[in-house]
């Protein structure tokens, strides 16, 4: 296969290099287009106001590499439409230096890059490895390679990515398909003060417990040591809610002309 590789940790991060090595050793052609530094937590943000700067990078073991001063989604978009050329059989984003499970996938630049590629019509895989002293990048590379090799047989529809999360210590070698856990973690802000008691800032903290995840979700299985796979789609209109609002007549009861005239008088 011809694979576009990207991430959000930067083009020199250990996760990207482990994926690059595993994919190339298996005989795949890999074109790497990734941020020139860490861009974690940027979700699906893109650069709309300035030109993206690109620097060619020598990748270990060969293959084309480009460092970009943009977001992960910028890298996926630029790679798909300008730098990688065709064909692109699969876009792999990762391997991220920590999990992107459940609701947290909304914040992830790794998932954001894969989602951008999927929106353009390309098969896309986001891969992440749990942060731990026991991190095994070589094993994560092999798991990612296996998912890449099997991807085309899964029948994933256009516009949908697959979100892969790998535990640092795998309790069961078989992965499991599971929905994203959509219950946000309980969070609060801890106040940080200086010696005189003045507020310096607010640090976000979270509390995890059974009440913060659904049984049978990706978080639930992951806590059991399972590798999880979740199909993830883009933001979409809530069709059921839309149909209800349309059918129940929640339009403008005053009529658009009256509302517009009344609004004009307030200026």
pLDDT of residue 82: 96
Number of domains forming the structure of the chain: 1
Q: Confidence band (pLDDT; 50, 70, 90) for 183? A: confident
Q: Which two tokens stand for residue 79?
A: 């790679």
Compute the average pLDDT of residues 45-60: 88
Q: Output the average pLDDT for the chain.
A: 88
Task: Decide if 23 is inside a domain.
Answer: yes
Residue 248: other Cβ atoms inside 10 A: 8
| In the predicted structure, residue 266 carries a pLDDT above the cut 60 | no
Task: Decide if 235 is inside a domain.
Answer: yes
Give the rounded percent of residues in the chain with a pLDDT score beyond 70: 88
Q: Which two tokens stand for residue 100?
A: 């992107």
| In the predicted structure, residue 226 carries a pLDDT above the cut 80 | yes
Q: Which pairing describes strands 54-56 and 90-97: parallel, antiparallel, or unpaired?
A: unpaired
| Exposure on the CB side of residue 168, measured as CA atoms within 13 A | 9
Task: Decide if 177 is inside a domain.
Answer: yes
CATH number at residue 70: 3.40.1210.10
pLDDT of residue 212: 66
Task: Decide if 81 is inside a domain.
Answer: yes
pLDDT of residue 122: 98
Residues comprising the chain, all counted: 267
DSSP label at 104?
Answer: G
Rounded-to-integer distance, Cα 131 and Cα 92, Å: 19
CA angle in degrees (0–180, nearest 5) for 43-49-55: 75
**Can you list the alpha helix ranges (DSSP code H) found in 31-136?**
72-78, 109-119
- 160 is in which domain, residue-wise? 2-182+217-239
pLDDT of residue 185: 65
**Packing angle, helices 137-150 and 14-25, rounded to 10:** 50
Rounded-to-integer distance, Cα 106 and Cα 110, Å: 10
Task: Decide if 88 is inside a domain.
Answer: yes
Taken in order 18, 23, 27, 31, is the CA torsion positive or negative? negative
Q: Confidence band (pLDDT; 50, 70, 90) for 41? A: low
pLDDT of residue 257: 57
35, 8 Cβ separation under 8 angstroms:
yes
Task: Decide if 266 is inside a domain.
Answer: no
Q: Which residues contact 185 (CB under 8 A, 6 or more apart)?
A: 103, 104, 206, 207, 208, 212
Task: Decide if 144 is inside a domain.
Answer: yes
9, 40 Cβ separation under 8 angstroms:
yes
Rounded-to-integer distance, Cα 123 and Cα 117, Å: 7
Q: Give Cα 118 distance to the centre of its chain.
A: 11
Q: Which residues contact 1 (CB under 8 A, 6 or more apart)?
A: 28, 29, 89, 90, 148
Rounded-to-integer distance, Cα 216 and Cα 172, Å: 16
92, 4 Cβ separation under 8 angstroms:
yes
**What pLDDT, in 10s, does the model give residues 94-133?**
999 999 999 889 989 999 999 999 999 999 999 999 999 9
Task: Decide if 31 is inside a domain.
Answer: yes
**What pLDDT, in 10s, does the model give residues 134-175?**
889 999 999 999 999 999 999 999 999 999 999 998 887 789
35, 13 Cβ separation under 8 angstroms:
no
């Amino acid at each position: 296969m011809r694979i576009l590789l990207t991430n959000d940790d930067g083009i020199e991060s250990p996760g990207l290099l482990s994926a690059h090595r595993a994919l190339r050793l298996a005989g795949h052609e890999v074109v790497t287009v990734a941020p020139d530094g860490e861009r974690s937590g940027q979700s699906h943000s893109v650069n709309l106001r300035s030109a993206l700067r690109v620097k060619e990078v020598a990748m270990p073991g060969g293959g084309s590499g480009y460092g970009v001063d943009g977001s992960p989604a910028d890298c996926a978009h630029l790679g798909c439409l300008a730098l990688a050329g065709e064909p692109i059989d699969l876009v792999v984003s990762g391997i991220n230096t920590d999990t992107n499970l459940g609701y947290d996938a909304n914040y992830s630049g790794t998932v954001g890059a894969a989602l951008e590629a999927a929106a353009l019509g390309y098969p896309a895989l986001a891969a992440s490895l749990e942060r731990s002293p026991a991190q095994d990048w070589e094993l994560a590379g092999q798991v990612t390679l296996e998912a890449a090799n099997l991807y085309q047989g899964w029948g994933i529809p256009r516009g949908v990515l697959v979100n892969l999360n790998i535990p640092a210590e795998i309790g069961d070698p078989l992965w499991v398909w599971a929905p994203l856990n959509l219950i946000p973690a309980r969070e609060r802000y801890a106040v940080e003060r200086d010696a005189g008691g003045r507020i310096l800032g607010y640090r976000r903290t979270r509390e995890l417990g059974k009440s913060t995840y659904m049984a049978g979700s990706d978080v639930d299985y992951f806590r059991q040591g399972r590798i999880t796979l979740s199909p993830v789609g883009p933001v979409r209109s809530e069709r059921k809610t839309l149909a209800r609002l349309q059918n129940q007549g929640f339009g403008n009861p005053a009529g658009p002309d009256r509302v517009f005239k009344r609004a004009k008088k307030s200026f």
